[in-house]
């Protein structure tokens, strides 16, 4: 089938769906939706509609990015706009069927917003505070199309860029366009994509590879997975165009084995693309051939690093190659020139080819063009996946898009870049989000993790948390990375246990600087970042742990105490029975008291005390003689 | 085991590049990497047994002991951490009497932790036999695990 015909048919099918006399139900069933119960919701729609003899079309989509509202469901009645609903539990699904589909009341209370038309009392979806400031390119299709149906992608303009590149552009022209666009790698380091492509094209050799880095090692980030689950073809298209540009015939997608759904959707996408002639021999009838395979990463953070990643595909331990090492673009996989880019970097390519470099560069800052995608999580009202123009400030992201800190709490810090990044305080909220500004502030753009913390998060504990992660993930080649990180971790542990000394702070800084210099890969070079930035911006918290033996955020166990407020305690025995160490004394009608010597500070009593009493209190530091009386 | 192992190997050529995918298949089949199986894989790919063990122990995905019938996986991702994952993990350890990466002697439960299962918006969360339980509290953990011994 010719591409023209494919496009026509895909668009006709889409039109037919729009004009259909049947209601259309879109259920977001990406991993985040599933974890909120989307599969139950889906099942209810299937069963209930069938039993009521309502003939409807049900489509599973990826993630719109409004994770706080999952499961998200779109309902289109014939001739009506699409109304998106939030938190559609099985229960609510039944209400929607009865209330909206049968009785015609759009149940505005449950609605997030509408698309393709307006409904009274319901805002436009993309006017929501969380969506309005966004610029959605990579996420263009996410949540709106069925990722397992290639026609949906084609109908949205998919594979047009590939067709244009292969038939209307020389490889050099493609590279030039990418270079001119100013696109920088979105995997963390921000290396200019066009320059990397050019280096790979120029590297001598006929056998070359293209690899998509979908390892997503940052513990607490899911943007790459969401793109793969929401619009896998956009990534494939970028990879195929890259193959054409650099002269490769084979590509690998290195994806975490922990992402089974993404792997599954990728397999489907690749086989559909192969069937339609976008992958394989003589793509679209041209003389360009390119094949694609998936490699499942087996769970090692360091394998996100380029040389470790290629070694891992070759069947080795993923240990970064020693210095001086050749560039991956010259000697990568099987020692052949290899182009490695992140998922989101590839997903941007079709826009650059379709709309041109100038259009692409119309968004962003002087040195950071285009958009960035973040997994916005932690102590934030609107958790989710967002795509923003580079240059937007942290404040706009956290307070306008994210809706601020929930529960009347106070913002403390925002962490970007995962274990390689840093924590930025209130005073830096107006920092523009771009590669250079974040680096100057001591953090990094990273691959897209953004974790917001509030007054209840302990910065020393957070630094210890990241170090605990990286220390385990160090591949062990560099002594400073291997031993230095355990040494730093020991010191941090001591501080959180109230056994720290003031000299420890300087020692941490000194060790951190040494590890940066003494490590051969980005893992070691960035291990100290979370520690160094928290010392830089939250030194007083370290000092409180060391000097006052208090954890101001009431997180570090050794430095907090629990007590039962006698005037609130109803002597109900619940905490007493549930205390795992038997530290609570008292009886029926006898106010309970915690034996501070026995108490392990697990917090079970506080979590189990009925909310109407709220008689257990947690305070920083030890109880004074006064309190104990 | 001999039969299914041969079947797995039959779809590979025996190159070193296939080592990790083969081990993944073996683990998917048996739930862990039995020693005999690793030795067979080494022979098949013509590499030393130590090499296979070296790879298997390097990557977090691989395990050398069988899993329990009920698999409890707690998220230790950043979003879950700042929303109280450590208390959840502690409570799980206390209830099950095992550490992370261990299986109860009766092979009923195993406890693992992972980094981010992707439902950070509902943190802290854990997965019990593939089903995600969200917005956990130590209290909910206890309830989940004591519901007549089943979850
Ligand atoms: C320890 C370590 C982990 C990394 N993890 C990832 C990752 O999970 N995903 C990713 O795309 N890049 C990761 N990188 C960066 C890659 O090495 C590489 O720079 C990137 O994939 C290149 O793609 P880009 O230019 O499109 O950003 C990591 C680097 C290091 C040192
Ligand atoms: S950090 Fe736990 S689900 Fe993401």
Do the Cβ atoms of A313 and B17 come closer than 8 Å? Answer: yes
Q: Which ligand is nearest to the CA of A419?
A: 1
Within this chain, do residues A256 and A287 fall inside the same structural domain, yes or no? yes
Structure tokens at B143: 């309830």
Within this chain, do residues A218 and A332 fall inside the same structural domain, yes or no? yes
For A356-404, write each residue's pLDDT tens digit.
999 999 999 999 999 999 999 999 999 999 999 999 999 999 999 999 9
| Cβ–Cβ gap B58/A318 under 8 Å | yes
For A586-605, write each residue's pLDDT tens digit.
998 899 999 999 999 988 89
Is A545 in the B-facing interface, judged by CB distances under 8 Å? no
Within this chain, do residues A425 and A350 fall inside the same structural domain, yes or no? no
* CATH classification of the domain holding A606: 3.30.70.20
Within this chain, do residues A533 and A484 fall inside the same structural domain, yes or no? yes
Tell me if B64 is assigned to some domain: no
Tell me if A131 is assigned to some domain: no
* CATH classification of the domain holding A397: 3.10.20.600
Tell me if B65 is assigned to some domain: no
Q: Which of B58, B85, B106 is the last residue before a domain boundary? A: B58
Nearest CA in chain A to B23: A298
Ligand 2 pocket, residue B132 CB under 6 Å: no
Place B130 in a pLDDT band, splitting at 50, 70 and 90.
confident
Q: What is the total count of domains within chain B?
A: 2
Residue A398 neighbours by CB under 8 Å, 6+ apart: A376, A380, A404, A411, A414, A429, A452
Q: Which amino acid residue places its CA nearest to atom 2 of ligand 1?
A: A305
Write down the residue that tokens 């033996």 correspond to.
A549
| Cβ–Cβ gap A469/B115 under 8 Å | yes
Burial pattern A267-297, b for ≥16 Cβ within 10 A else e, equals: ebbbebbeebbbbeeebbeeebebbbebbbb
Q: What is the mean pLDDT of residues A142-162?
A: 98
Within this chain, do residues A439 and A578 fall inside the same structural domain, yes or no? no
Within this chain, do residues A15 and A112 fall inside the same structural domain, yes or no? yes
Write down the residue that tokens 């023209």 correspond to.
A4
Range of the domain at B53: 2-58
ipTM computed for the complex: 0.91
Tell me if A116 is assigned to some domain: yes
Closest Cβ–Cβ partner in B20, B45, B117 for A35: B117
Place B148 in a pLDDT band, splitting at 50, 70 and 90.
very low
* CATH classification of the domain holding A519: 1.20.1440.230
For A441-487, write each residue's pLDDT tens digit.
999 999 999 999 999 999 999 999 999 999 999 999 999 999 999 99
Structure tokens at A591: 């106010």
User: What's the Rg (C-alpha) of chain B?
Assistant: 18
> How far is Cα A104 from Cα A107, in angstroms, rounded to an integer?
9
Within this chain, do residues B43 and B80 fall inside the same structural domain, yes or no? no
Within this chain, do residues A236 and A352 fall inside the same structural domain, yes or no? yes
Within this chain, do residues A439 and A538 fall inside the same structural domain, yes or no? no
Distance A378 CA to ligand 2 centre (A): 9
Nearest CA in chain B to A223: B118
Residue B147 has what pLDDT? 64
> How far is Cα A252 from Cα A340, in angstroms, rounded to an integer?
10
What DSSP string describes A537-584? HHHHHHHIIIII---TTS-SGGGEEEEE-TTT----SHHHHH-TT--E
Report how many Cβ contacts below 8 Å link chain A to chain B.
141
Tell me if B8 is assigned to some domain: yes
Interface probe for B, chosen from A38, A604, A609, A616 (most Cβ of B below 10 Å), is A604
Closest Cβ–Cβ partner in B16, B20, B91 for A298: B20
For A221-273, write each residue's pLDDT tens digit.
899 999 999 999 999 999 999 999 999 999 999 999 889 999 999 999 999 99
Is A258 in the B-facing interface, judged by CB distances under 8 Å? yes
Whole-model pTM: value is: 0.95
Residue B151 has what pLDDT? 43
First to last CA, chain A: 85
Residue A176 has pLDDT above 50, yes or no: yes
Q: Which amino acid residue places its CA nearest to atom 1 of ligand 2?
A: B77
Which runs of consecutive H residues, i.e. helices, occur in A405-447? 435-440
Instruction: Name every chain B residue with its beta carbon within 8 A of the beta carbon of A36.
Output: 119, 121-122, 132, 134
Is B101 in the A-facing interface, judged by CB distances under 8 Å? no
| Cβ–Cβ gap B18/A315 under 8 Å | yes
A414: which strand partners?
A424, A452
Closest Cβ–Cβ partner in A220, A314, A475 for B116: A220
Residue A486 has what pLDDT? 97
Within this chain, do residues B44 and B90 fall inside the same structural domain, yes or no? no
SS3 at position A275? helix
> How far is Cα A320 from Cα A478, in angstroms, rounded to an integer?
10
Within this chain, do residues B78 and B139 fall inside the same structural domain, yes or no? yes
Q: Which of B58, B83, B106 is the last residue before a domain boundary? A: B58
Q: Which of A454, A480, A495 is the last residue before a domain boundary? A: A454
Q: Which of A432, A454, A476 is the last residue before a domain boundary? A: A454
Q: Which of B38, B58, B78 is the last residue before a domain boundary? A: B58
Tell me if A146 is assigned to some domain: no
Closest Cβ–Cβ partner in A465, A469, A602 for B90: A602
Within this chain, do residues A232 and A211 fall inside the same structural domain, yes or no? yes
Is B77 in the A-facing interface, judged by CB distances under 8 Å? yes
Distance A185 CA to ligand 1 centre (A): 9
Tell me if B63 is assigned to some domain: no
Within this chain, do residues A195 and A301 fall inside the same structural domain, yes or no? yes
Give me the sign of the Cα torsion angle A164, A177, A186, A246.
Answer: positive
- What are the angstrom distances between the C-alpha of A406 and each of A131, A399, A455? 18, 11, 11
Ligand 2 pocket, residue B127 CB under 6 Å: no
B73: which strand partners?
B112, B127
Write down the residue that tokens 């469901």 correspond to.
A73
Q: What is the total count of domains within chain A?
A: 5
Closest Cβ–Cβ partner in A300, A379, A384 for B82: A379
Is A601 in the B-facing interface, judged by CB distances under 8 Å? no
Q: Which atom of ligand 1 is nearest to the CA of A523?
A: 1
Tell me if B16 is assigned to some domain: yes
On the 0-12 / 13-18 / 19+ scale of CB atoms within 10 A, A502 is exposed
Which of A217, A220, A466 best tests ligand 2's pocket when mutated (most atoms within 8 Å of CB)?
A: A220
Nearest CA in chain A to B126: A35
> How far is Cα B104 from Cα B98, in angstroms, rounded to an integer?
6
Write down the residue that tokens 């449950």 correspond to.
A110
Within this chain, do residues B46 and B88 fall inside the same structural domain, yes or no? no
Range of the domain at A430: 371-454
A48: which strand partners?
none
Do the Cβ atoms of A63 and A230 come closer than 8 Å? Answer: yes
For A265-286, write each residue's pLDDT tens digit.
999 999 999 999 999 999 999 9
Q: Which of A314, A330, A361 is the last residue before a domain boundary? A: A361
**Among A230, A302, A303, which Cα is nearest to A269's?**
A230
Which residues of chain A from 199 to 228 reach within 8 Å of chain B, CB to CB? 217-222, 225-226
Instruction: Name every chain A residue with its beta carbon within 8 A of the beta carbon of B44.
Output: none
Structure tokens at B83: 């929303």
Which residues of chain B from 11 to 40 reach within 8 Å of chain A, CB to CB? 15-21, 23-24
Residue B150 has what pLDDT? 47
* CATH classification of the domain holding B129: 3.40.30.10
Q: What is the mean pLDDT of residues A23-51?
A: 95
Which of A138, A303, A304 best tests ligand 1's pocket when mutated (most atoms within 8 Å of CB)?
A: A304
Residue B149 has what pLDDT? 46
Within this chain, do residues A170 and A105 fall inside the same structural domain, yes or no? no
Residue B76 has what pLDDT? 92
């Amino acid at each position: 089938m010719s591409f023209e015909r494919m496009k026509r048919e895909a668009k006709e099918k889409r039109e037919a769906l729009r004009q259909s006399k049947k209601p259309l139900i879109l259920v977001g069933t990406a991993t985040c939706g599933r974890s909120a119960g989307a599969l139950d919701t889906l099942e209810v729609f299937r069963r209930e509609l069938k039993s009521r003899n309502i003939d409807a079309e049900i489509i599973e989509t990826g993630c719109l990015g409004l994770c706080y509202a999952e499961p998200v469901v779109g309902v289109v009645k014939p001739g009506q706009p699409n109304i998106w609903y939030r938190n559609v539990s099985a229960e609510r699904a039944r209400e929607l069927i009865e209330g909206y589909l049968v009785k015609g009341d759009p149940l505005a209370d449950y609605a997030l917003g509408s698309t393709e038309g307006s409904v009274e009392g319901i805002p436009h979806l993309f006017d929501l505070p969380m969506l309005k400031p966004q610029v959605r390119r990579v996420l263009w299709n996410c949540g709106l199309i069925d990722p397992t149906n290639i026609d949906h992608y084609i109908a949205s303009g998919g594979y047009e860029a590939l067709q244009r590149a292969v038939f209307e552009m020389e490889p050099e022209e493609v590279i030039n366009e990418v270079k001119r666009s100013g696109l920088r790698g979105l995997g963390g380091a921000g290396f200019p994509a066009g320059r990397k492509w050019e280096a790979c094209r120029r590297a001598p050799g006929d056998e070359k590879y293209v690899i998509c880095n979908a390892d997503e090692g940052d513990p607490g980030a899911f943007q790459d997975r969401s793109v793969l689950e929401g619009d896998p073809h956009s990534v494939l298209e970028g990879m195929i165009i890259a193959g054409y540009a650099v002269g490769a015939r084979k590509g690998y997608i290195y994806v975490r084995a922990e992402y089974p759904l993404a792997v599954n959707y990728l397999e489907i996408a690749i086989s559909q693309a192969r069937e339609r002639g976008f992958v394989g021999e003589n793509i679209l009838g041209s003389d360009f051939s390119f094949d694609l395979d998936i490699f499942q990463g087996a769970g090692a953070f360091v394998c996100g690093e380029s040389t470790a990643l290629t070694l891992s595909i070759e069947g080795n331990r993923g240990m970064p190659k020693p210095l001086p090492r050749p560039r991956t673009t010259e000697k990568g996989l099987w020692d052949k020139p290899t182009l490695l880019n992140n998922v989101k970097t590839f997903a941007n390519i079709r826009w650059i080819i379709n709309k041109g470099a100038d259009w692409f560069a119309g968004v962003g800052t002087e040195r950071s063009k285009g958009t960035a995608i973040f997994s916005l999580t932690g102590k934030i009202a609107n958790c989710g996946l967002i795509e923003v123009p580079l240059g937007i400030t942290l404040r706009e992201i956290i307070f306008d898009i994210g809706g601020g800190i929930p529960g009347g709490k106070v913002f403390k810090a925002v962490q970007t870049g995962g274990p390689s990044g840093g924590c930025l305080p209130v005073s830096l909220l107006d920092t523009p989000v771009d590669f250079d500004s974040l680096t100057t502030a001591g953090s990094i753009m990273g691959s897209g993790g953004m974790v917001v913390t509030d007054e209840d998060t302990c910065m020393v504990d957070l630094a210890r948390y990241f170090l605990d992660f990286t220390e385990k993930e160090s591949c062990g080649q560099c002594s400073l990375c291997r031993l230095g990180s355990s040494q730093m971790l020991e010191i941090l542990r001591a501080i959180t246990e109230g056994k720290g000394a003031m000299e420890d702070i300087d020692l941490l800084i000194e060790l951190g600087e040494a590890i940066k210099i003494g490590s051969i890969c980005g893992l070691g070079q960035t291990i100290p970042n979370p520690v160094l930035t928290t010392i830089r911006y939250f030194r007083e918290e370290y000092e409180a742990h060391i000097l006052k033996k208090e954890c101001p955020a009431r997180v570090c166990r050794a430095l907090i105490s629990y007590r039962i407020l006698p005037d609130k305690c109803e002597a109900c025995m619940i905490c007493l029975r549930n205390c795992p160490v038997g530290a609570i004394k008292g009886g029926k009608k006898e106010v309970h008291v915690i034996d501070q010597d026995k108490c392990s500070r697990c917090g079970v009593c506080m979590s189990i005390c009925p909310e109407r009493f709220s008689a257990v209190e947690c305070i920083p530091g030890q109880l004074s003689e006064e309190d104990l009386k | 085991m001999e039969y299914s192992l041969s079947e797995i190997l039959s779809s590979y050529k025996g190159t070193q590049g296939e080592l990790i995918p083969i081990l993944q298949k073996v683990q998917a089949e048996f739930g862990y990497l039995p020693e005999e199986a690793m030795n067979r894989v080494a022979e098949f790919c013509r590499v030393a047994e130590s090499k296979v063990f070296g790879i298997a122990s390097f990557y977090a995905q691989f395990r050398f002991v069988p899993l329990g019938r009920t698999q409890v996986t707690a998220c230790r991702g950043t979003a879950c951490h700042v929303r109280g994952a450590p208390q959840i993990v502690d409570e799980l350890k206390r209830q099950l009497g095992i550490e992370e990466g261990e299986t109860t002697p009766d092979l009923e439960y195993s406890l693992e932790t992972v980094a981010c299962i992707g439902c950070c918006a509902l943190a802290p969360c854990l997965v019990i036999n593939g089903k995600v339980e969200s917005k956990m509290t130590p209290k909910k953990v206890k309830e989940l695990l004591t519901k007549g011994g089943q979850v």
